Structure 1
Amino acid sequence: MDFTMTKTEQAGIEVLTVIGDIDALSVTEFAEIVSAAVESTCDRPVKAFVLDMNSVSFCSVGGLDVLLTAQRKARSAGVHMAVTAGTPVMDRVLTLADPARTVAAYSDREHAVRQCALTTSMV
């Protein structure tokens, strides 16, 4: 399956929607876009963004490494990163690789955006 990412905004929060496979062919592009999102969010009024991964059909170990690295960078920059993991693919990936649940994962985009808004308004 092909890989695409789109960028939108919802309630002042940037949402990156990922569609397809995150594999050896797409992981570099995925990493560049996610890293840029962390950096650009530092300059936004709302220091949060959502990675909507509910249309991901496969996520390699490299893709998981991108998520965990982005989470560490976001946290150290004071940025809240939320991931949608409401599908069996992403739920399994995060359950196995992130048992401590350091990545803020939500079942759907609306919940993730709402939590980002709440989290950043309390800061």
Structure 2
Amino acid sequence: MATDAWTAVKQRFARLLGRGDPEQVEAAERRLERSRQELAGRSGGELEQARAEQVAAWKARLTDLLEDHPACATELRELIEAVRAEAAPCGTTVVQHVVASDRAQQAVLGQGTQNVVFHSGDD
């Protein structure tokens, strides 16, 4: 719910949840958006609590969906896999521990291209 792909994911989940009924699709979109808003702007323990509540709520909704429409299990599985693939990190996590002393200089780059010129300060 916190990624750039949210709009597309929300629409796909809403179509799945609405099962072809335009009113139900719209209701599902509103419910998904409310869930996103519950998480927005929170951090730390407050975010974790809100996330746990949303997980429980959506787990119940999806359980109901599968009980009422068992044939949509494949569609749901495919949608979840697509979301996971889009949310997967596209690179490797980099951790740097840098220590400098005296007149040392550092340049740290998380990604992209960086051109660095150090001057001694005596120029």
Instruction: Return the index of the structure with the highest Cα Rg.
Output: 2
| TM-score exceeds 0.5 | no
Flag the structure with more relative contact order, 1 or 2, with Cα contacts below 8 A and sequence separation at least 6.
1
Higher strand share: 1
Higher helix share: 2
Please give the TM-score of this superposition, normalised by the length of structure 1. Answer: 0.30
